[in-house]
Amino acid sequence: MRWIQVVRGVALVGVGLAAGMTWSRAGAGGPVHDAARSAAEAPPGAGAMAVPAALQAGPAAVPEGLSASERRDIEVFRAASPSVVNVTSLVAVRRDFFSLDVTEMPQGSGSGFIWDRDGHVVTNFHVLEGGRRWTVTLGDHSTHEAVLVGVAPDKDLAVLRIEAPAETLSPLPLGRSRDLVVGQRVLAIGNPFGLDQSLTVGVVSALGRELTSPSGRTIRDVVQTDAAINPGNSGGPLLDSAGRLIGVNSAIYSPSGASAGIGFAVPVDTVARLVPELIEYGRPIRPGIGVTLLPDSLTRRIDVEGVAIQSVERGGPADRAGLEGIRSDRSGRRYLGDVIAAVNGEKVGDFDELATAFERAGIGAVVELVVLRDGEARTVGVEVVALEN
């Protein structure tokens, strides 16, 4: 993966290697790393370690004298850990120059979690990126071949599917990231450095952060936490104190590659919206209004504030609302058509902001657009629909 993390206007530049590898380059204040680790640092099979006989008998008794919060953390971990899995990405490697034989080697590993009893597993897109084949190791240390169901690079999310008995699959309950508050207790479970079933505890340290996804789109409303998120935690769950999923751990900001108290998670509201689409269609359903937009680079070059419409799909929502694209006169000279300046009262300055506004509104909603034409502003109501591509 090659992508740039942006946190509240601070550019944190990172050049990724293959999925599951640590990536970094010096940025403003230090490098940014994803929360996965390469096979060189997480040896093959590290996510499927042998279980000591003492642990196979069941969880140990909770010691006396622990605080109520400690007991609660223990309860949440024991309830949620069976849902957390290790995801290994495999690539084909040629044995030598003179041989046509190839073998598969672990490219890296990360975390994930069970979504439902049909065997769907959610993880980060960058954990799988570049892989040829994937395996999933459950909490009982059984390993299963995984099939890729769907990906959403724009949000750094992906869904795999495994064939496993339903009774061995324990989905996580969903929370709501829009209800989170700074200072709220959170727990992160994952496989840092190839060590499975590890728990770290912290708080929500900030809300509304922004990260740049592997595709270059901005992931908004990202949850920031000080719970230690280390290489290998990518794709694992961030939970609230009731054990509900509130985010998918995705990245850390660190000068060393290990946790430095700043971790980021894709918010569960985004996850809950996209995962059903990935399961059903293999891709996110893109909302829009039936227009083709001018490239942002061209809009900036002609000094236009907003998102300029290049053309309008005949019979689509924008066409029915009277929006127009670029116009030509009889002599062939071309004139700028409508420019979308705001959606539902929020200014939009580029394609990314406009797409995010449509995603937030949702398919079927009628959005209120502020549209500029020939220097005059007007307000137009347009329905958001599902686009074909």
pLDDT digits (tens, 9 = 90+) for 141-195: 899 999 999 999 999 999 999 999 999 999 999 999 999 999 999 999 998 666 6
Query: How far is 20 from 231, CA to CA, in rounded Å?
Result: 8
Has residue 103 got a pLDDT over 60? no
Between these two residues, 164 and 230, which has the higher pLDDT value? 164
Residue 174 DSSP class? B
Confidence of residue 106 (pLDDT cuts 50, 70, 90): low
CB 108, CB 18: distance < 8 Å? yes
| Each residue's pLDDT tens digit, 276-319 | 999 999 999 999 999 999 998 888 888 888 999 999 999 999 99
CA-to-CA dists, residue 324 to 291, 301, 336, 340, 370, angstroms: 9, 21, 9, 11, 14
Between these two residues, 217 and 67, which has the higher pLDDT value? 67
Percent of residues, the chain, with pLDDT higher than 90: 59
Has residue 109 got a pLDDT over 80? yes
- The residue extents of the domains of the chain are 1-46+72-284, 287-386
Has residue 213 got a pLDDT over 70? yes
Neighbours of 322 (CB within 10 A): 13
Q: What is the pLDDT of residue 176?
A: 93
Nearest to 174 by CA among 127, 120, 240: 240
Q: What is the pLDDT of residue 35?
A: 47
**Which CATH superfamily does the domain covering 287-386 fall into?**
PDZ domain (2.30.42.10)
Has residue 21 got a pLDDT over 70? no
Between these two residues, 319 and 3, which has the higher pLDDT value? 319
- What is the phi-psi region of residue 32: left when phi exceeds 0, alpha when psi lies from -120 to 50, beta otherwise? beta
Q: Can you tell me whether residue 248 is helix, strand or coil? A: strand
The token pair at 179 is: 């209800």
Q: How far apart are the first and last CA of the chain?
A: 23
Q: What is the pLDDT of residue 298?
A: 87
| pLDDT averaged over every residue in the chain | 81
Between these two residues, 49 and 120, which has the higher pLDDT value? 120
Once rounded to an integer, what is the mean pLDDT over residues 52-73?
A: 76
Q: What is the pLDDT of residue 107?
A: 62
Has residue 18 got a pLDDT over 50? no
CA-to-CA dists, residue 190 to 80, 367, 370, angstroms: 11, 40, 45
Locus of tokens 């994930």: 112
Between these two residues, 105 and 218, which has the higher pLDDT value? 218
Q: Which residues contact 149 (CB under 8 A, 6 or more apart)?
A: 120, 159, 160, 161, 278, 279, 282
Q: What is the CATH number of domain 1-46+72-284?
A: 2.40.10.120
Query: How far is 146 from 89, CA to CA, in rounded Å?
Result: 10
Element (DSSP H or E) covering residue 128: helix 125-128
Q: Can you tell me whether residue 27 is helix, strand or coil? A: coil
Query: How far is 225 from 227, CA to CA, in rounded Å?
Result: 5
Phi, psi of 351 (to 5 degrees): -60, -40
Q: What is the pLDDT of residue 349?
A: 92
Has residue 215 got a pLDDT over 50? yes
Has residue 258 got a pLDDT over 60? no
Residue 49 DSSP class? P
Radius of gyration of the chain (CA): 23
Residues annotated as catalytic (active site), given as ranges? 126, 156, 234
Q: What is the pLDDT of residue 260?
A: 57
Between these two residues, 10 and 54, which has the higher pLDDT value? 54
DSSP assignment of 290-344: SEEEPPHHHHHHTT-SSEEEEEE-TTSHHHHTT----EE-TTS-EE---EEEEET
